[in-house]
A and B are shown apart, each in its own frame.
Chain A
Amino acid sequence: MNFNTDSMKPIYIQISEWLENQILNDSIAEDEKMYSQYQLAEMYNINPATAGKGLTILLNQNILYKKRGLGMFVSPQAKELIFKKRKNETLRRLVLELITEANRLNLSEDELFQLIKSIKKEYEGE
């Protein structure tokens, strides 16, 4: 198992994303036991604490829940949560890029909204 060492993303984030993907493609089902930090550490050849951080992110976002003494499990609503999160993040990033470029081209706010409306119409018209 390898991850992108050149990526700007910290390893624990890459891990959490990989785990999210595993949940999304049903490799791990709802209420099924999630990998432990030790298993992840061995799979990825990293320190267990780092793997643990990745798990903690998902735990804090309720994508995982803890069963005392047994470990972490996938929440029933995990898939939905992941979808929502990705939607927000990706969209947000794209919008930010759009705004940045618009500013660079000196578009006013009105011009920007007009542009969005017209392209949306084109898109929906097809």
Chain B
Amino acid sequence: MSIIQCTNLTKDYGNAKALSDLSFTIEENTITGLIGRNGAGKTTLLKTIAGFIKNTSGEISVLGKNPFDCLDVSANTFFADDNMAFPVELTLSELLEEISNFYPNWDVSLAKGLFEYFGLNPKQYHAGLSKGQKSTFNMIVALSSHSALTIFDEPTTGMDASVRKDFYRALLKDYIQYPRTIILSSHLLSEIEDILENILLLKNGTKVLQMPVENLKEMAIGLRGDINSINMLTNGKEIIHTEKINGNHILVVVKNDFTETALQQANVLGVEILQVSADDLCVYLTAKSQGGIDDVFNRAKLI
């Protein structure tokens, strides 16, 4: 069952198109990673799904309804980002209590356990927390709400590595116990790719791809060797990324539709076969040019 359905979703801010003709579906009880560069439209998309922002055109349906100003969607969705608005006057423990009133599925023991585990002070005020502590608190609230649709927008801002690890583990464990639909946007794909099921990759407000993480990892392959051999192997194929190594040697990233024999041929030619990490692949797919940042320096050389 689709929890979220977008068709030709567009959001304009004046002249700038934050989202452009975006179409995709998100199924129930999955963890989807929303990946893309800064400004790709991730936050805009997530806020539109959460009903905070109204789309300019196209259709969006969350839990069967348009999410803007919809109480049904609001009651079943929790949106956590680093700008979450909390009342200033309440302490953290008072906040937890008040928030639990809004969510019938609220898990008291989970909230309490996580709160104590991360060493937060119940008498403190939200405004007085450090960035990492804020993110931690927001995460605790988001998980404990057990909302059918839980959205995290860059949830690990300010968290140190060990807290991040714990967060992903907590997310996974709670998801296994209480399956729900989760969308997670992050810059650190390498950290979260194991707990993701699907990836939705955005570039300039449009969808580049949406597929299971495993497929993404197998989608491309890196070939490193001398230019001529590489050109032979990649004749007619779409090149995703090129990098000059030294002298005659280059590295290319292409779609992995080679047969086993073709790969053996690469061995014969002395071309190295490399795996492309999902992280890198997403960077290449959303780059402006094939050569990446090296182009800047190459151009400088020409001048």
Q: Given known contacts A8-B275, A11-B194, is B173 in contact with A42 (CB within 8 Å)?
A: yes
Size of A's binding interface in residues, CB under 8 A: 20
- Give Cα A103–Cα B196 distance, bound, in whole angstroms: 43
B228 within 8 A of A: no
**From residue B267, how far is it (CB to closest CB) to chain A in Å?**
6
Which residue of the partner chain B has the closest CB to A100?
A: B264
With the chains together, A42 CA to B173 CA distance in Å? Answer: 7
Q: In the complex, are the beta carbons of B31 and A45 less than 8 A apart? A: no
Main secondary structure of the interface of A (DSSP, over half): helix
Residues facing A in B27-45 (CB within 8 A) are 30-31
Smallest distance from the beta carbon of A51 to chain B beta carbons, Å? 10
**Contact between A41 and B218 (Cβ–Cβ < 8 Å)?**
no
Bound together, the chains give a CA A8 to CA B218 distance in angstroms of 9
- A1-26 contacts to B, CB under 8 A, are 6, 8, 10-12
How many angstroms from the CA of A45 to the CA of B172 in the assembled complex?
Answer: 7
Which residues of the other chain, B, contact A12 by a CB distance below 8 angstroms?
Answer: 214
Interface check B195, CB cutoff 8 A? yes
Rounded to whole angstroms, the CA-CA distance of A42 and B169 in the bound complex is 9
Chain B 167-183 interface 0/1 with A at a Cβ cutoff of 8 Å (1 = within): 01100110110000000
Instruction: Report if B213 contacts A (CB, 8 A).
Output: yes
User: Does B113 make an interface contact (CB < 8 A)?
Assistant: no
Chain A CB within 8 A of B72 CB: no
Interface string of A55-88 (1 = CB under 8 A from B): 0000000000000000000000000000000000
| Shortest distance between the CB of B162 and any CB in chain A (Å) | 14
A38 contacts which chain B residues (CB < 8 A)?
A: 176
List chain A residues, Cβ under 8 A from B260: 96
Give A42 to B197 CA distance when docked, in angstroms.
Answer: 14
Known contacts A10-B214, A50-B213; A45 and B267 CB within 8 A of each other: no
Contact A45 B194 (CB under 8 A): yes
Given the complex, which residues of B lie within 8 Å of A33, measured CB to CB?
A: none
B268 at the interface (CB under 8 A from A): yes
B217 at the interface (CB under 8 A from A): yes
Q: Residue A104 at the B interface, CB < 8 A? A: yes
Q: Is the CB of B268 within 8 A of A103?
A: yes
Residue B212 lies at the interface, judged by CB distance under 8 Å to chain A? yes
CA distance in complex: A90, B168 (Å) = 37
- Which chain B residues numbered 183 to 223 have a C-beta less than 8 Å away from chain A? 194-197, 212-214, 217-218
Residue of A nearest to B274 (CB): A8
- Provide 9 A-B residue pairs closer than 8 Å at the C-beta atoms, listed in order of the A residue: A10-B214, A10-B217, A45-B168, A47-B195, A48-B176, A49-B30, A49-B212, A50-B197, A96-B264
**Residues in chain A within 8 A of chain B (CB atoms):** 6, 8, 10-12, 38, 41-42, 44-50, 53, 96, 100, 103-104
Per CB-CB distance, the 7 closest pairs between chain A and chain B, nearest first, are A49-B197, A46-B194, A47-B197, A38-B176, A8-B275, A10-B214, A100-B264
Other A-B contacts than A38-B176, A46-B194, 15 sampled, CB-CB below 8 A, are A41-B176, A42-B172, A42-B173, A42-B176, A44-B194, A45-B194, A45-B195, A46-B172, A47-B172, A47-B196, A49-B30, A50-B194, A50-B214, A53-B214, A96-B264
